[in-house]
A and B are shown apart, each in its own frame.
Chain A
Amino acid sequence: MSLKLGVPSKGRLMDKTFDWFARRGIGLTRTGSEREYAGRVEGIEGVSLVLLSAGEIPRELAAGRIHLGVTGTDLVQEKLPRWEQQVEEIAALGFGQADLILAVPRFWVDVDTLDDLDAAAAAFRARHGYRLRIATKYHRLVREFLMRGGVSDYALVDSQGATEGTVKNETAEAIADITSTGETLRANHLKVLGDGPILRSQATLWRSRVAECDDAQRATLKALLARVDGDA
């Protein structure tokens, strides 16, 4: 059996992952038509490419259906509660950098910290009769962060896209989302809270701790890790 490497199936994340492996002498290419998710690996024997949505790669690693996978730290930590026991970080790939942050409207000049957010949330609930809504798709990470920070009287509302627009559209009062440059936040009149990001993320190569390996796969893994270990 070949060693399975999971890589995001489209976009910049795929292109940059292919570039990163290419610099280490491993050629990854998509084959077939534009719409067919099939791939080829050159420059190393016994590795097969599995093209997946970046969001599914943590689950596949945790289930042991792929041996290696490239995806963001944010997705691994959101989807795998015991991620340290399920996957091992092999290499940070140096792209896809983004922070998971909490942001509120810029005109909330009274809110700079979690302490302020908590006080504002209490007053908001008393006045409006419902809890201050925070739009996000990172429910677990945000909830744990706010629990550690002792913030209450908030509610998480699910937002799978265009999260920065939810405040203006009045479906949320604040947001928690991934941002790299902060440009979208500024354009939507939002500012980042000052307590630091919930998480710093970047594209990372992970090894599944649970995927089973036969002797051939183990040898291939060793060879591959030797190749990706050095800087290129």
Chain B
Amino acid sequence: MTDRSATLARAAALRARFQGEGAEVVETPILQPAGALLDLYGEDIRGRAYVTADALRGEQMLRPDFTVPVVQMHMARGGSPARYTYSGEVFRRQEQDEDRANEYIQVGYEIFGGDDPAAADAEVFALIAEALSEFGLRAATGDMGLLLAAVRGLKTTERRKAALLRHVWRPRRFRSLLDRFSGRVPMTPARKALLAAEDPLAGAGPEIGCRSRAEVLDRIAALRADAEAPPIPGHVIEALDELLSVRETAPFALEHLRDVAVDLPAIQPALDRMAARIEALAARGVDVERLDFEASYGRTSMEYYDGFVFGFYAETRPDLPPIATGGRYDALTRQLGQGRAIPAVGGVLRPGLMQQLAGEGAP
């Protein structure tokens, strides 16, 4: 087991290092009001966070991460450009694997604002890569912005696009929506009959509960409209599949994605941002020729990253979770900023895992 004081010393050193890069040290409460986290992550967060309650403040959670409170703090301050660093415990409920820590130290570095997102992405990645350089980790990178741009640019109904965007982070549901919208999965006979019925609610029983009859009829109208809309063409679905399957070193991935953009022209601006990021990373001294890029990386993690995403893995220890992770989360600032938004990118490191790796290196 790792020594807690050694982990804390390592955390303090990391935070001091980020402070040296110009970041302001911030602290956030450990107990967070549950409402904001539930609104953001939905009920799934209850499986990952410890929930407690009192009669006055209602439900609260032991902070499962720093991102949400740091964004809230930043937005409350007025949201002008800033760099922050922090260090402290986060708590993760574990129900499947006893070996995974339910409490550990995270050290983070976040950049809010600025007018050069590529440079900010590269800064966060490079600073974390440098802090981890002694461990010889493998970096994985991706870009959620590509898939989001591809979906937003589909030539189909706004309703379909909204449904797909809602489930970008749930690959299985995303896939079943695509199957339906492309006509790969035919409508069931029961559904056909319902949409054809003159009075779909005939004999359906009394109206009970808060979801009204009007809401049921609205959805039937929406389903009827959807049945009229042309299917998303097969070559577009294939292009989306191709996009999601891209897994190469960054420069090759970019080239490959430029080909995909012939069928998905809407990803062009996202590709230009990716190209600018690769340049900015190279300028920061990152060996981009050997940097892995996976277009579907970040799809199953916490659902707030909407651009660049990355993680650092110890290849000799596949049993360990990533040593550091991060990404861009512009949309989260809009969600938590009550109408205001600000570009944001950041990452967290786990000094406890670093300590474990350092221990292994010793004789």
Partner-contacting stretch, out of B68-76, B137-145, B214-222: B214-222
CA distance A107 to B201 in the complex (A): 7
Summed over the interface, the residue pairs from A and B with CB atoms below 8 Å come to a total of 105
**Pairwise interchain contact B219-A110, C-beta atoms closer than 8 A:** yes
CA distance A107 to B208 in the complex (A): 8
Q: Which residues of A contact B176 (CB under 8 A)?
A: 115, 150
CA distance A147 to B45 in the complex (A): 10
**Pairwise interchain contact A109-B47, C-beta atoms closer than 8 A:** no
Partner of A146, one of B43, B163, B209, B211: B43
**Interface size on A (CB < 8 Å)?**
41
Partner-contacting stretch, out of A53-61, A124-132, A211-219, A223-231: A124-132
Q: Is B82 an interface residue (CB 8 A)?
A: no
CA distance A20 to B191 in the complex (A): 46
What's the interface size class on B, roughly? 35 or more
Interface residue SS majority, chain B: helix
Q: Which residues of B contact A123 (CB under 8 A)?
A: 215, 218-219
CA distance A152 to B180 in the complex (A): 18
In the complex with contacts A110-B223, A119-B163, A152-B170 CB distance below 8 A: yes
Mask: chain A, 100-141; 1 = CB below 8 Å from B; 0 = not: 000001111110100100111011100110011000000110
**Pairwise interchain contact B216-A108, C-beta atoms closer than 8 A:** yes
CA distance A189 to B211 in the complex (A): 14
Q: Which residues of B contact A105 (CB under 8 A)?
A: 205, 207-209, 211
Name the residue of chain A whose CB is nearest to the CB of B217.
A110
Mask: chain B, 35-63; 1 = CB below 8 Å from A; 0 = not: 00010001110110000000000000000
**Pairwise interchain contact B204-A109, C-beta atoms closer than 8 A:** yes
Interface residues of B in 149-199 (CB under 8 A from A): 163, 166-167, 170, 172-174, 176, 180, 190-191, 194
Q: Which residues of A contact B209 (CB under 8 A)?
A: 105, 167-168, 170, 172-173
Q: Which of B172, B173, B213 has the most CB of A within 10 A?
A: B173
Mask: chain B, 74-106; 1 = CB below 8 Å from A; 0 = not: 000000000000000000000110100000000
Q: Is A70 an interface residue (CB 8 A)?
A: no
Q: Is B210 an interface residue (CB 8 A)?
A: yes
**Pairwise interchain contact B47-A143, C-beta atoms closer than 8 A:** yes
**Pairwise interchain contact B47-A144, C-beta atoms closer than 8 A:** yes
Q: Which residues of A contact B44 (CB under 8 A)?
A: 143, 147, 152
A-B contact pairs, 22 of them (CB 8 A): A106-B204, A107-B204, A107-B205, A108-B211, A110-B219, A110-B220, A123-B215, A128-B210, A131-B42, A131-B43, A139-B46, A140-B95, A143-B43, A150-B170, A150-B173, A150-B174, A154-B43, A155-B43, A156-B43, A170-B210, A172-B209, A173-B211
- Known: A115-B176, A189-B206; 11 extra A-B contacts, CB below 8 A, are A81-B95, A81-B96, A109-B200, A110-B194, A115-B180, A122-B163, A149-B173, A151-B173, A170-B209, A170-B210, A172-B209
